[in-house]
Amino acid sequence: MEVSDDHRSWRKRLLAFYPIWDVRDEVVPDDSSQSPQEHVARDAALARERIRAAGPDERPPALFRLWSNTRCLVVTQREERLPSFAAAARASAERGWPVVARDSGGTTVPHTPGTLLLTLLLPRLRAEDPPVQEPRADTVFTLLCDPVIEAMARLGVSATYGAVPRSFCDGRFNLVAHNRKIAGTAQRWRGGLPRYPVRDGFVMAHLALYVDTDMHAATRAVNSFLADTGSSEAFDSGQMISLREAMRRSGAGDPSSDVLRIFQERLVEVLRATRI
């Protein structure tokens, strides 16, 4: 999928609208000092904290948060309402995949210690802000994903946008390498409708990049959970690829290296350079 010039134009306007773009690296692989739910809930807590901390005349900075989680399945609040959700979640936890709900778009996704998570937090337009229109969600997805594509390119892996049928949580703004899904995305607009000033609203855009993840085990965990909820959906792990495997297929990098740490460093470099 090609990203249109319109999105590129919006991207520039958005970058200019937020004078500060912070980067917070909170990646601690397999950090069990917090529960998976606490790791997930931190995005919204951080957004609210930063909006509160901004003075009356200050626009809160945009923030890229890099983070990681322990092994779990992240589901939407919509899926949480399924009649057999509680029993399905218990069974998944017994299989070693606890289930946590997140107030966001998309469908069930796995998090593992080898999954790099990136969240873009954008404070929403306020009544006192100049009357610039907010962009569409597609533009926010490109702001989230373009740095990841660039960081992968620096490791020798070429990625594009696109849907990958039969991959879990499929969507147009997946990242795709070697014709397989390597990262998925979702987005949540809090506080009111786009292009209307809101009070204390923010956009959360999420990306999960499967850096060093056993995609067969992760897909099996999603399929088992969904089957237990009564869903007939089942996904194909052959439609997924980890960054480690993509690097191997691209003839890039040392397969014995700590791919997660190396990619994390590249991504931080790219994110810190995010400017017009």
Specify the 3-state DSSP secondary structure of 174: coil
- Pick 127 or 276: Cβ nearer another protein: 127
Site string for another protein, 83-112 (x = CB under 8 A): --------------------xxxx------
For helices 215-228 and 85-94, what crossing angle results, to 10°? 150
Nearest approach in angstroms of CB 273 to another protein is: 27
Distance, CA of 209 to CA of 231 (rounded, Å): 25
The DSSP string of 105-117 is: SS--EEE-TTEEE
Query: Candidates 28-36, 193-201, 214-222, 233-241 — which segment interacts with another protein by CB under 8 A?
Result: 193-201
Nearest approach in angstroms of CB 82 to another protein is: 10
Nearest approach in angstroms of CB 245 to another protein is: 24
- Catalytic one of 121, 151, 164, 169: 169
Contact between 8 and another protein (CB under 8 A)?
A: no
Contact between 191 and another protein (CB under 8 A)?
A: yes
Classify burial at 20, counting beta carbons within 10 Å of its beta carbon; exposed 0-12, middle 13-18, buried 19 or more: exposed
Contact between 263 and another protein (CB under 8 A)?
A: no
Contact between 187 and another protein (CB under 8 A)?
A: yes
Nearest approach in angstroms of CB 115 to another protein is: 17
Distance, CA of 45 to CA of 149 (rounded, Å): 27
3-state secondary structure 177-217: ECCEEEEEEEEEEECCCCCCCCCCCEEEEEEEEECCCCHHH
Annotate 119-147 with b (16+ C-beta within 10 A) or e (fewer).
bbbbbbbbeeeeeeebbebbbbbbbbbbb
By residue count, the chain amounts to 276
Specify the 3-state DSSP secondary structure of 23: strand
Number of residues that bind another protein (CB under 8 A): 27
Contact between 74 and another protein (CB under 8 A)?
A: no
Query: Candidates 29-37, 51-59, 60-68, 185-193 — which segment interacts with another protein by CB under 8 A?
Result: 185-193
> Is-contact 205 143, C-beta < 8 A?
yes
Site string for another protein, 130-169 (x = CB under 8 A): ------xxx------------------------------x
Q: Tell me the residue type at 41.
A: A
Contact between 210 and another protein (CB under 8 A)?
A: no
Decide if 72 is catalytic.
no
- Pick 174 or 264: Cβ nearer another protein: 174
Nearest approach in angstroms of CB 106 to another protein is: 4
SS3 percent helix, strand, coil of the chain, rounded to 5, is 35, 20, 40
Contact between 123 and another protein (CB under 8 A)?
A: no
Using CB under 8 A as the criterion, which residues of the chain lie in contact with another protein when the complex forms?
76-78, 81, 103-106, 136-138, 169, 171-173, 185-195, 201
Query: Which amino acids are annotated catalytic?
Result: 169
